[in-house]
Amino acid sequence: MDLGPHAAFIWISYAAVTVTVTGLILWLIADGRKQAADLEALERQGVKRRSSSPGVR
């Protein structure tokens, strides 16, 4: 694919969006796993939410 004399500007733009959005998605997934693990650890210690219902995360 020939993107002409300004190809570098186009590729850098798309790469920046890809890296930033992928980074956000990975951060959200990692954060979700951390919160779920922390919650599970607390519940294993016997600390339960008053309104907790089984299977709801």
Give contact residues for another protein (rule: CB under 8 A): 1-7, 9-10, 12-14, 16-17, 20-21, 24-25, 28-29, 31-32, 35-36, 38-39, 42-43, 45, 47, 49, 51, 53, 56-57
Q: Do residues 10 and 3 touch, judged by C-beta distance below 8 A?
A: yes
- Smallest distance from the beta carbon of 19 to another protein, in angstroms? 10
**What are the CA-CA distances from residue 46 to residues 16, 29, 42, 43, 55 (Å)?**
45, 26, 7, 5, 16
- Smallest distance from the beta carbon of 26 to another protein, in angstroms? 11
21 token code pair? 């959005």
